[in-house]
Amino acid sequence: MQPEEKKNSKIVLPLWLTDKSVFQQNVAFEIIGKAPALATVTFEIVKYPTDGRKISKLDTDYGVILSRETTTGERGDFKFTVPAYKASCDAYTFIFRCMSEELTVSDMRCGDVWVSLGSEFLSIPMKEANAPSGPLKRKVMSHLSFLKKDSDDSFRWIRVGDTKALSEVSSSAFAFAYSLAGQIAYPVGVIDLARKDSTILNWISNETADSMVAVKDYLGSIGLYLDEELYGKLLAEDKKRSDTVRLEVDIEEGKKRLDFDLGKDRELKDLKGLESDEDAVKNAAALDFPSSEKSALKGAEEGDSALRASAAKMLDFSMIPSVKPVKEEEKKDDLDYIKPMFRMSYLYRDLLDPLTGVPVRGFCFSPNKEELVFERYDLLLMGLLTTLAFTFEPKVVYDDSLMPSILFVGMHPDNVDFENPYSVLEFNEVIQAFMNKLDMKSGLISLHDLLLPDKTMSFTLGQRLATAALGTHFTPKLPTSCPQLSGVEKTGNKLILKFDNLADGLRLADGRSELLGFAVCGPDRVFYPASARILHGVRVMVWADSVEDPVSVTYGFSPIPHEATFRNLSDLPVLPFRFDRRAAYYCPDISFASCDDLVFVGKRTKDSKFEQLDVFRTFKGNGVISSEPLNKTQGAASLHIRYETDKALYGFEPVLDYASLFAPLEIRGRTKLTVDVFNPEQRRKQLAVEGFGECEIRQDLTWQTLTFNYKGEGSISISELKFTITDSERNGEIYFDNIRFI
């Protein structure tokens, strides 16, 4: 059925029901349409194999498998119920007849239908992303369909052969559908609704807000509750603004062609509340100009010459209005303008409401960074789920396997608020807490371990969502979410952590030999970096030698969790967490202290993108700082420094002025610094640490620990940490490892 055919048809079907549709398996649903009043409408479903095999005429699974008839009401309404069918790669055709008209919807499939909505990574189209390397399987590609809304406001199902239309499809939705269909081997349809600049408010219906008092009151308290009248005023304001922009462009283009349109100028000035150029000219002509017959200056010229001269000198030409209009102060609108992204129901009306009654398998939702401002995001999440429940089928579920699920996407660290650094982490905690209270199947997928800008990230998200979808609905052994902390046991000064969604176990990230990102605290509630080890692939043991009585633990609980990279065997990263929400001082980023890495991922400035940044730099003399994995005291490596002194001095330091480190770093509850040093030349040297003092480096061929007392008052606070070596020789080398604050 072509779009034009549908527009001209007397039989009107739901907007989503077009050629190449996918409808949900094992769920009966209703088709509600319109036709001429009090007319007979027939409905047939025809099924045929797509693999070309021959079928018997006696095979009731093919041919016309359903035939129904009804009579429209006085308003032309009709309704047919499509029974529950099993998933199949075979093609279905829906045929509707009324009077002399026949309307056909062909090349349909029965499989799983998912809805993708929200913002951020779910909204990146195929044309703006790069797919990971690797060939795509043609058979799997044939199972994919995507529902998009065209520019002409009509919905259209897209297959992979429609390359131009496919380029507009969400890259995450494509990766999700492809990964899922590759495992279940039957059709997958994704209703692709995600929009780049949308927020959760856009998807919540007015009916939902009106029926949920808590949601309505919260939206009212922040000035974002919209009734029909206010919404209408906003639409009128939108039209005024868009017309203003259009006219400004048209007038500027006309000026370039020396074709000035006074009508458009008048219309534009009316919209802005200004006087048009044409009116200004008319008004200027009525003023008392010196050249007019009745002007004061003209009368003076006919009298005394002295008067004429003085009158001419007194004339202030700056008082004469220019032909250009004087800009008046714009009147304040009675209605405060609300950006579309903060309008309730803005996208619900356009995208969700037309899909009412569509049966689905589940939903994928991604938040927008602008949503950090919502203190009661849990209420908005409930409003979203209520809206989705009233929009899509099945509303009543008697079989738990048919219960729709929802997969949330965590907010990415790139959205960090430097005024409130932990806000992204707290936001994701709200989603986690909300999700854990739901009766419906749910999961949370994170991208916190993928910080560097990468056009394949949206595809990775789609693959992770597909893994969770498989675990939720098809394969119990697979995870339904990124792994989360599920329990803590204490054994002496060590904590044993349990996780759910392990998928047969945990592993280190590729290229890592140490488990990083953990911190523990004692009764003083000051967190300090901790060592960790995976036990038997299913648990994690965490401890810190300096904390004898650990009472709480965190993992990746940092505004930029660049060390939080370990994952389960399905390649889903463990979610950052804190064991409790009691008041505490969380560990600052002192990852440099391990001396394991020479680079890390961070932000150079508040506005810059994530990039690989140097951990250390030389500030005195010349030096080459390298990583040494063999000669070390702890961790994965030590620093091996070959240096050239400047006036017997060589200095190096960790770089602490990157925005993502949030210096000055406060190391509470600690008053000393220790560092392990190896002096391979067995030569007399001295090490000074700015703010801590200096120590002699022994002439021993062994690792030695140097201890420095903090010279400042109170807890250690550092914006820079300069290490200076005094060496009488021109060249030298030294090993550094395991910087500790004790």
Give the Cα separation of 565 and 584 in Å (integer). 24
Q: Which residue has the higher pLDDT, 233 or 92?
A: 92
- Could you tell me the pTM of the whole model? 0.86
> Taken in order 489, 491, 497, 500, is the CA torsion positive or negative?
negative
Task: List, for residues 234-254, the tens digit of each pLDDT value.
Answer: 667 777 777 777 777 777 777
Give the Cα separation of 450 and 627 in Å (integer). 24
Beta-carbon count within 10 A of 613 CB? 16
From 188, 138, 177, 159, select the one nearest 19 (Cα to Cα).
Answer: 159
- Which pLDDT score is estimated for 261? 67
**How does residue 511 score in pLDDT terms, banded at 50, 70 and 90?**
confident
Task: List, for residues 105-129, the tens digit of each pLDDT value.
Answer: 999 999 999 999 999 999 999 999 9
- pLDDT surpassing 80 at residue 11: yes
**How does residue 519 score in pLDDT terms, banded at 50, 70 and 90?**
very high
Q: Which residue has the higher pLDDT, 399 or 285?
A: 399
- Which pLDDT score is estimated for 331? 40
Residue 152, token pair as written in the block: 């002409």
**How does residue 671 score in pLDDT terms, banded at 50, 70 and 90?**
very high
**Mean model confidence pLDDT for the chain:** 88
- State mean pLDDT over 364-379: 96
- Structural domains in the chain, CATH included, are 236-284+295-319 (no CATH), 485-587 (no CATH), 603-741 (2.60.120.260)
Give the Cα separation of 166 and 146 in Å (integer). 8
- Tokens 């094992």 belong to 26
- Classify each residue of 36-68 as buried b or exposed e, where b means 16 or more C-beta atoms within 10 Å of its C-beta: eeebebebbbbbeeeeeeeeeeeeeebeebbee
Determine contact, residues 11/101, Cβ cutoff 8 Å.
yes
- Which pLDDT score is estimated for 228? 73
Task: List, for residues 35-61, the tens digit of each pLDDT value.
Answer: 999 999 999 999 999 877 777 777 778
Beta-carbon count within 10 A of 508 CB? 14
- Cα dihedral 688, 694, 697, 703, rounded to 10, equals -80
* Beta strand ranges found along 22-135 (DSSP E): 22-24, 29-34, 40-48, 63-71, 77-82, 88-98, 101-118
Which helix (H) or strand (E) segment holds residue 375: the answer is none
- pLDDT surpassing 60 at residue 196: yes
Task: List, for residues 310-345, the tens digit of each pLDDT value.
Answer: 333 333 333 333 333 334 344 444 456 888 899 999
- Residue 376 per-residue DSSP state: T
- pLDDT surpassing 60 at residue 711: yes
- pLDDT surpassing 50 at residue 295: no
Which helix (H) or strand (E) segment holds residue 586: the answer is none
> For residue 560, which amino acid is it?
I
Share of the chain above pLDDT 70, in %: 87
Q: Which residue has the higher pLDDT, 178 or 338?
A: 178
- Which pLDDT score is estimated for 239? 74
Determine contact, residues 493/543, Cβ cutoff 8 Å.
yes
- Residue 420 per-residue DSSP state: S
